[in-house]
Amino acid sequence: MLGSSLLQIWSTYMKSVGEWYANRILLGIFISPQEPLIELCIADIHFAHDRGFHMGIYNWTLWCGAFMSPIAGGFVAERFGWRWIQYILAIICLCFTVVTFFGFEETMFFRQVNIQEPMFSSPKDTVDLEPSIDTDLKRVSEFKESENPGITPVVVEEIYQIKTYTQKLKMWGLRHPSQPFNFFRSILLSFRLLFFPTNIFSGLLVGSILAWYNVLGGSLAEVLGGTPYNFTTEQIGLTYFASVIGVSIGCYFSGWLSDILAIKLARRRNGIKEPEDRLWMFLIALVAHPLGCILYGVGASHHIPWIGVVIGMAFICITLPMGSGLAITYIIDSQKELAGESIVTVILIRNTIGFAFAYAVNPMITNMGLQNTFILIAVLGMVFWSGCLLWIKIGKSARRSIAKFYWNLVETHGLAAH
């Protein structure tokens, strides 16, 4: 985040195309780790039954940031100039650098599975354990008299010393010595996971909603800024409040409501929970996405009142956090040991699709027209969301087909879940 703030300041002084590309490449390198790290922290801290709720809160902040930035950016650019947008972003990054370093605790830890059984020994016997990393491990033994005075049962418990505040700030020594680590091997692992069907499905789902976001953002100025609406820059920015409302509804569906659905379905199976249970929420998106595309794209091409266009935006935005939330939570639920690497794989697929659509938006509208473009987007969205129904049926079989390869990777890389 510190590097991101410096790059934001640099972007206000760029004078050539080469500088622009260099700035964007470096900005991507510095910013890209932040997304999977936050999602992994949620997986580390929260339990499976409420993981959707907390992932929904994260998605709400993520998408609200994406949609509320243009609102603030329009006013800042009008009154202070565009450079102050970058200055404000630099200040925000600096503030979060301080808050993250001093206020956030490390969530990564390694838990070895130790099966402890009651032991019997003489009172003269002593037990000595090597202290584990970063903790003072002690054995507390409780001796109780038995019928044989020479033999007493020993109950072994572990007591960990609480870390001090300064120890929690330490950025090294967190990995357990028994965990093998190879930087380049970890990078290659994310590419190997491209062949996992679970990652392909999740990547396509998240990539599709990023594509719709790019289409919506790339066409909004043309739709509302042109005839017959003729909105100013500030007015166009204010319409993003409809997107915030839609995102809030979508986060509720993919977050708290998906937790309730997963728990109820698990109870029907006598407590057996399946990662695919949350995917049933796709039925809401299957209705909201085409409805939003028709109101926004087809409605705008027929010059309906602006409020109808804005409501269409809200319906499309309902599906955006649903796609990202359901897909990422599904990956964490089904591949907890390789969640970090799998999320990187999903993001790679997502960004490839989003990158392509970002450059295809304007040519599509120019060549096909606004109405036909959004009819196509509506149909494509229904196809992608209908894939959830297919995956509910075959997802468990797909996970079983890669189970042996999956556990071999976990063992090879010394990974463990908790």
Find the mean pLDDT for residues 318-344: 91
Q: What is the full DSSP assignment across 19-37?
A: HHHHHHHHHHHHHTTHHHH
Region 352-375 average pLDDT: 89
The confidence band for 414, taking pLDDT boundaries of 50, 70 and 90, is: low
Q: According to the model, what pLDDT value does residue 178 have?
A: 62
Q: How confident is the model at residue 132 (pLDDT cuts 50, 70, 90)?
A: very low
Q: How far apart are CA 197 and CA 174, in angstroms?
A: 32
Q: Using the predicted structure, report yes or no on whether residue 183 has a pLDDT greater than 80.
A: no
- Quote the pLDDT of residue 295: 95
Chain-centroid distance, C-alpha 207:
13
Instruction: Report the C-alpha gap between 5 and 248 in whole angstroms.
Output: 28
**Averaged over 239-257, what is the pLDDT?**
94
pLDDT class for 157, splitting at 50, 70, 90? low
pLDDT at 305: 94
User: Measuring CA to CA, which residue among 53, 33, 12 is closest to residue 258?
Assistant: 53
> How high is the mean pLDDT of the chain?
83
Cis peptide bond upstream of 228, omega within 30: yes
Q: How do residues 334-362 score in pLDDT, each as one tens digit?
A: 998 888 889 989 999 998 998 888 888 88
More confident residue, 118 or 266: 266
Task: Give which of 216, 378, 212 is closest to 310, Cα–Cα.
Answer: 216
Task: Give the three-state DSSP class for 218.
Answer: helix
What CA–CA distance (Å, rounded) separates 171 from 189?
Answer: 24
Which tokens is 410 given? 């976990």
In the structure, what pLDDT confidence band is assigned to residue 71 with cuts at 50, 70 and 90?
Answer: confident
Q: What is the pLDDT of residue 155?
A: 52
240-252 and 306-334 helices, crossing angle to 10°: 40
> Beta strand pairing status for 152-159 and 138-143?
antiparallel
Q: pLDDT for 184-210, tens place per residue?
A: 777 788 888 999 999 999 999 999 999
- SS3 call for 164: coil
CATH architecture for the domain at 70-82+190-413: Up-down Bundle (1.20)
pLDDT at position 356: 86
d(CA 141, CA 314): 62
Q: Tens digit of pLDDT for each residue in 211-241?
A: 999 999 888 988 999 889 999 877 888 899 9
The domain locations on the chain are 70-82+190-413
Quick: pLDDT tens for 280-297: 999 999 999 999 999 999
DSSP 8-state symbol, 148: S
Q: For 21-50, write each residue's pLDDT tens digit.
A: 999 899 888 888 877 888 888 888 888 888
- Confirm if 76 and 85 have CB atoms less than 8 A apart: yes
Asked if residue 256 has pLDDT above 70, the reply is yes
